[in-house]
Amino acid sequence: MPVAPIARSPIRIAGPVSLHSGWEVSAVRSIAALRLADRTPLAKVLVRAAPSGEVAARLGVRSGRAARDDHGTLVVGSAPGEWLLIGAVGASAEMAARIDVFADGRLVSVLDHTHGRALIRLTGVAAAGTLAKLCPIDLADRSTPDGTGFRSAVARLATDVVRDDVDGTASYLLHCERSSGQFLFDAVLDAGAEYGIEPDAFGAR
């Protein structure tokens, strides 16, 4: 009987693992005030289209902002005419199909980056203070409130940063090339050491 393939993140975390929709994920659970989780298995779709076309209008998120659509997909305006869509594990094909449905005949690029990119989530009251050590952007609430998305250097890596608070607590998604995922994860862990940061499980809030 054939064995189903197992997908693995480039980020390795010491401790127990479990399977989630065909992905091997960390099962390490933390109750620390500052937590860092590998979210690489989440579906990641990159869309490029005319900034003033039908696709842009339907996505409804301008450059520099992030919001969830009616399907629960996080839509990030990464740059003018470019969006990053983040959804549930295994949902990339469905997400891409929705874009195709309302494309208006103009040139639209829809690429599944799920396995080609790494994604981590940093959550806690000291999240901004931790990121400030690695990123030159002003992370104060007045400058980068919940729902902000931008591209910057984090630990000298080109990174999409999305502020996506969880239950009123500051939380950031960091999205980078797969080959840099472990480096970025370790750099954030090191930066958050003074705040007692701990790795957290994939499915943790």
pLDDT tens sequence across 136-171: 999 999 999 999 999 999 999 999 999 999 999 999
Q: Which residues, at least 6 apart from 161, have a Cβ–Cβ distance to it below 8 Å?
A: 131, 135, 137, 149, 150, 151, 152, 154, 172, 173, 174, 175
Token reading at 186? 């370790």
**pTM recorded for the entire structure:** 0.94
Domains and CATH numbers, the chain: 31-41+116-200 (3.30.1360.120), 43-112 (3.30.70.1520)
CB-facing half-sphere around the CA of 144: CA atoms within 13 A: 24
CA atoms within 13 A on the CB side of 181: 25
Residues 204, 120 contacting (CB under 8 angstroms):
no
Measured CA to CA, the distance from residue 11 to residue 181 in angstroms comes to 6
Mean pLDDT of 34-62: 94
